[in-house]
A and B are shown apart, each in its own frame.
Chain A
Amino acid sequence: MVNSENTKAQMRKGVLELCILSILSQGDAYPTEIIEKLKETKLVVVEGTLYPLLTRLKNTGLLTYRWEESTSGPPRKYYMLTEIGVTYLKELQLSWAELVDAVNKTIQPKN
């Protein structure tokens, strides 16, 4: 039996990076905020997946963060895009548009 769940997860994973960068391009955010937005679009099922991804993006230099005190819990990490992150996002957005276009043409042959 073909496991569609795995395929879906792979697809989500591929675009998750783009989504996170896009969300951060609209303003700095801390993980919980990012998750709220992603949950609305059902891109993220569980929160745990976000943290490794954020750390990876930070370590590759696309993101950076600052600490901010919180009234309701431990200090929060506010993530923001770096300059490299902004350029990288632009590239990603471009290729995403191309990809969507190409995929749409493929799966809807007659229009």
Chain B
Amino acid sequence: MKILFFASLRERLQCDQETFNDITGISTAQDVVDRLSERGAPWDTALENGKILVSINQEMASLNSAVNADDEIAFFPPVTGG
């Protein structure tokens, strides 16, 4: 499972990409957040922000959405383009 972070979240985490090889116990995007948050600061505080958006395989999703081993999950703040 490939996990991407963008913009202010990427800077806060000082990480643009993670890979989970073992996804035992992970069935939703929220489970991915919980696994990352177990690392402590800054992961737990940055990801608990209610404004963080999630996409699965480049489609907008929710934290309740199901995830699979070969998915590309991304977390990012609200968009501000244009």
- Chain A partners chain B: no
List the interface of chain B (C-beta within 8 A of A): none
